[in-house]
Every structure is written in C-alpha cells, then in structure tokens.
Amino acid sequence: MAIDLQQIGKRFRFYTNLKELEMEDLKSITGADETTLNHIINGCNIVLDELVAIVKNFEDLNPQWLIYGEGSMFKPMDEDGHCQDGNKGCLKKDKAAYLQQMKNMLIELDAAEVAKGHKPDIDALKAKLDQLKATQ
C-alpha cells in the first residue's frame, strides 16, 4: 500500500485539532522543531524516521490510522475507559463534537478518495458515523 504524505498531514492535523494542540504544544510534546512539524502537518518533505519519532509521543494515536488511514484514530480503550497507556479519557471534547468533526474530516477527505476510486469506503464510513450519532 502506498503512503500518501498529504493524507498523513491531513490526518495528523485533524488529530492535533481534535486534541486542541497548538504548535507550541506540539514542539513541547515532541521535542521537534517547527519546520519538521509543519512539514508533517502540510504533508510535504516528511522523513518517515522523524514521523515515527514524533508519533511515539502521542500514546493514544493509532499509527496505522495516521499513516494508512486504516482503523480507528485512537488506540483501543479498556473497559474502564482508559487508553492503552493507562490515561483516562483520550479526548478533551465530548463524543458529539468528536463525531461532528470526524464527519467534517470525511467530507474533506472524500474528494481525494473519490479521485482514487475509494468511494465505497467513504460511504461505509459515513454510514457508520450516522449509526453512531443515532445511538446517542
């Protein structure tokens, strides 16, 4: 499977927006410089070794989702609602806000995926989001 640097950037930007992380927060958390972080966020000139080193600092972020768009954005939670790293609560925002932002991201990614011929995948994700909203 090919790695799409622009999609990695969009997913990382979505994750950081959802977690309400500003550039200063990212620099502090990762120890990376602003240029490297901007390259990742903008999906250009990404060095995969740097990306891996940065992703390790976000223990709730699923690297499979970030790089390939597969699976959930967050690593699985246990029965008590703890992330795999043992911290309570992966999100600052409530579930409804998360679902709305995820839906907005799907709309943004839809154009790129349709161009690649993945329209059924996007439709399936939208249907799943609608199901989740209906259960709230």
Tokens standing for residue 79 = 């029965």
User: Tell me, what's the pLDDT at 118?
Assistant: 59
Question: Are the beta carbons of 101 and 18 closer than 8 angstroms?
Answer: yes
CATH 1.10.260.40 fits 1-89, yes or no: yes
Please identify which residue in the block is written with the tokens 């699976």.
Answer: 71
CA distance 135 to 52: 36
CA distance 97 to 58: 21
Q: pLDDT digit string (tens) for 49-99?
A: 888 888 899 988 988 899 888 888 888 765 555 554 444 445 544 566 666
Q: What is the pTM of this model?
A: 0.59
Q: Which residue has the higher pLDDT, 66 or 124?
A: 66
Determine the angle formed by the axes of helices 5-18 and 95-116, rounding to 10 degrees: 170
